[in-house]
Amino acid sequence: MSATAVSNTQAKYKLDTEEKPSLKYPNEKPKKQQLFEETPLVVAVITYIGYGVLVVFGYIRDMMRLYKFERTKGAKEAGRKGFVPLYSDFESFYTRNLYMRIRDCWNRPIASVAGAEIELMERVTEDYNWTMTTTTNKTKVINMGSYNYLGFGECEGLCTNQAVSAMKECGVSTCSSRMEIGMSSLQKQLESMVARFVGKEDAVCLGMGFATNSTCIPSLIGPGCCLVSDELNHASLVLGSRLSGAKVYVFKHNDMVSLEKVLKDAIVQGQPRTHRPWKKVIIVVEGIYSMEGSIVKLKEIIELKKKYKAYLYLDEAHSIGALGPTGRGVVEYFGCSPSDVDVMMGTFTKSFGAAGGYIAANKNIVDHIRSLSHASAYSAAMSPAVIQQIMSSMSIIMGEDGTDNGQIRLKQLKDNVRYFREKIQDMGFIIYGHDASPIIPILLYMPAKIAAFSHELLKRGVAVVVVGFPATPIIESRSRFCLSAAHTPEMIDKVLVALDEVGDKLQLKYSKMRPARPLKLDESIKNKFKYE
Ligand SMILES: Cc1ncc(COP(=O)(O)O)c(C=O)c1O
Pocket-testing residue among 146, 233, 234, 292, ligand 1, by greatest number of atoms within 8 A of Cβ: 234
454 lines ligand 1 (CB under 6 A): no
pLDDT at 12: 34
210 lines ligand 1 (CB under 6 A): yes
208 lines ligand 1 (CB under 6 A): yes
Sorted by sequence, the CB contacts under 8 Å of residue 462 that are 6+ apart come out as 141, 142, 144, 494, 495, 498
Alpha carbon distance 243, 238 (integer Å): 9
What is the distance in A from the centroid of ligand 1 to the CA of 273? 35
pLDDT at 516: 87
209 lines ligand 1 (CB under 6 A): yes
Nearest to 184 by CA among 175, 174, 192: 174
**HSE of 34, CA atoms in CB hemisphere, 13 A:** 20
Alpha carbon distance 511, 527 (integer Å): 26
Nearest to 410 by CA among 320, 500, 317: 320
Burial class (CB within 10 angstroms; exposed 0-12, middle 13-18, buried 19+) of 90: exposed
Nearest CA to ligand 1 atom 10: 209
**H/E element, 312:** strand 311-315
- Nearest-atom index, ligand 1, CA of 213: 4
Domain assignments of the chain as residue spans, ordered by start: 3-37, 39-143+404-532, 158-398
Measured at the CA of 295, the angle between CA 358 and CA 4, to 5 degrees, comes to 125
pLDDT at 83: 84
Contact 439, 482 (CB under 8 A): yes
pLDDT at 77: 72
| Strand, helix or coil for residue 59 | helix
What is the distance in A from the centroid of ligand 1 to the CA of 54? 32
pLDDT at 122: 96
DSSP per-residue string spanning 187-213: HHHHHHHHHHHHT-SEEEEES-HHHHH
Sorted by sequence, the CB contacts under 8 Å of residue 274 that are 6+ apart come out as none
Contact 191, 365 (CB under 8 A): no
Alpha carbon distance 340, 343 (integer Å): 9
213 lines ligand 1 (CB under 6 A): yes
Alpha carbon distance 202, 363 (integer Å): 5
Name the maximum alpha-carbon separation found in the chain: 72
Alpha carbon distance 481, 144 (integer Å): 5
Label the pairing between strands 281-286 and 311-315: parallel
pLDDT at 31: 54
What is the per-residue pLDDT across 312-340, written as a single tens digit (0 to 9) for each? Answer: 999 999 999 999 999 999 999 999 999 99
Give domain 158-398's CATH number out of 3.40.50.880, 3.30.70.1450, 3.40.640.10, 3.40.50.300: 3.40.640.10
Tell me which residues of the chain have a pLDDT lower than 50. Answer: 1-30
Tell me the C-alpha to C-alpha distance, in Å, between residue 413 and each of 297, 445, 490. 22, 28, 14
463 lines ligand 1 (CB under 6 A): no
286 lines ligand 1 (CB under 6 A): yes
Q: Tell me, rounded to whole angstroms, the distance of Cα 108 from its chain centroid.
A: 19
Q: In what order do the strands lie in the sheet with 133-143?
A: 117-124, 133-143, 462-463
Contact 352, 393 (CB under 8 A): yes
Q: Tell me, rounded to whole angstroms, the distance of Cα 226 from its chain centroid.
A: 25
- Nearest-atom index, ligand 1, CA of 211: 11
Please count the other Cβ atoms lying within 10 Å of the Cβ belonging to residue 67. 8
What is the distance in A from the centroid of ligand 1 to the CA of 521? 36
Pocket-testing residue among 215, 236, 313, 345, ligand 1, by greatest number of atoms within 8 A of Cβ: 236
Alpha carbon distance 168, 385 (integer Å): 9
416 lines ligand 1 (CB under 6 A): no
| Strand, helix or coil for residue 88 | coil
Give domain 39-143+404-532's CATH number out of 3.40.190.10, 3.90.1150.10, 3.40.50.800, 3.50.50.60: 3.90.1150.10
Alpha carbon distance 372, 216 (integer Å): 8
Phi then psi for 119, rounded to 5 degrees? Answer: -100, 125
Alpha carbon distance 470, 498 (integer Å): 28
- Nearest-atom index, ligand 1, CA of 236: 4
- Nearest-atom index, ligand 1, CA of 348: 10
Nearest to 298 by CA among 17, 4, 13: 17
Phi then psi for 30, rounded to 5 degrees? Answer: -75, 125
Contact 225, 282 (CB under 8 A): yes
Contact 283, 304 (CB under 8 A): yes
What is the distance in A from the centroid of ligand 1 to the CA of 62? 36
Pocket-testing residue among 231, 349, 480, ligand 1, by greatest number of atoms within 8 A of Cβ: 349
501 lines ligand 1 (CB under 6 A): no
What is the distance in A from the centroid of ligand 1 to the CA of 356? 9
Nearest to 139 by CA among 102, 104, 112, 107: 112
Q: In what order do the strands lie in the sheet with 226-230?
A: 202-206, 357-361, 343-347, 311-315, 281-286, 226-230, 247-251
**H/E element, 305:** helix 298-307
Helices 235-244, 209-220: crossing angle, 10 deg rounding: 30
425 lines ligand 1 (CB under 6 A): no
351 lines ligand 1 (CB under 6 A): no
Nearest CA to ligand 1 atom 6: 210
317 lines ligand 1 (CB under 6 A): yes
Alpha carbon distance 457, 463 (integer Å): 7
212 lines ligand 1 (CB under 6 A): no
Q: Dihedral through CA 362, CA 365, CA 371, CA 373, nearest 10?
A: -120
